[in-house]
């Protein structure tokens, strides 16, 4: 049962990351220098909606992060899966969730506000893309561990 809860939560977070990445990838072509204004405007408008005006949906993401973390801890305590499954899942989820909470969300809010000079906004957009790639890989790792350990 816990595998289902954990994989559902990780899958939900993957879908959120997929939507984020659809905007983030616009900076991939602009590795150096300032990101063009239309690209920054597109990404910033998305993050303004996501971090400010889409409430309470942002809280749903936080709740799912808690469910994922709690599910993995419960799984480890209950012995519901092999020890390695819980350890790998906890480290991966902790990496993705920790990065999102400590840095990515703040950068997204700041970019959405559009108050910084273009070079700072460009750096924020690049940082968010990199963070989301790491978070995506982390959630895929949780899914692979959970589904591989259940087999």
Q: How confident is the model over 1-56, as pLDDT tens digits?
A: 899 999 999 999 999 999 999 999 999 999 889 999 999 999 999 999 999 888 78
Residue 59 burial (CB < 10 Å; 0-12/13-18/19+)? exposed
Task: State the residue for tokens 């350990």.
Answer: 149
Whole-model pTM: value is 0.94
Place of tokens 């204004």: 37
Residues 6+ apart with CB under 8 A from 10: 68, 93, 139, 142, 143, 146
Extents of the domains making up the chain = 2-150
């Amino acid at each position: 049962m816990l595998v289902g809860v954990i994989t559902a939560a990780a899958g939900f977070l993957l879908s959120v990351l997929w939507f984020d990445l659809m905007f983030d990838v616009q900076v991939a072509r602009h590795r150096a220098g300032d990101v063009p204004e239309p690209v920054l405007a597109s990404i910033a408008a998305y993050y303004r909606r996501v971090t400010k005006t889409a409430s309470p949906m942002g809280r749903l993401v936080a709740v799912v992060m808690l469910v994922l973390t709690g599910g993995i801890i419960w799984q480890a305590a209950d012995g519901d899966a092999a020890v390695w499954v819980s350890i790998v899942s906890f480290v991966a989820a902790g990496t993705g969730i920790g990065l999102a909470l400590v840095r990515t969300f703040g950068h997204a809010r700041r970019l959405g506000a559009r108050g910084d000079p273009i070079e700072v906004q460009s750096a924020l957009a690049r940082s968010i893309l990199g963070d989301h790639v790491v978070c995506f890989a982390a959630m895929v790792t949780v899914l692979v561990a959970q589904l591989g350990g259940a087999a």
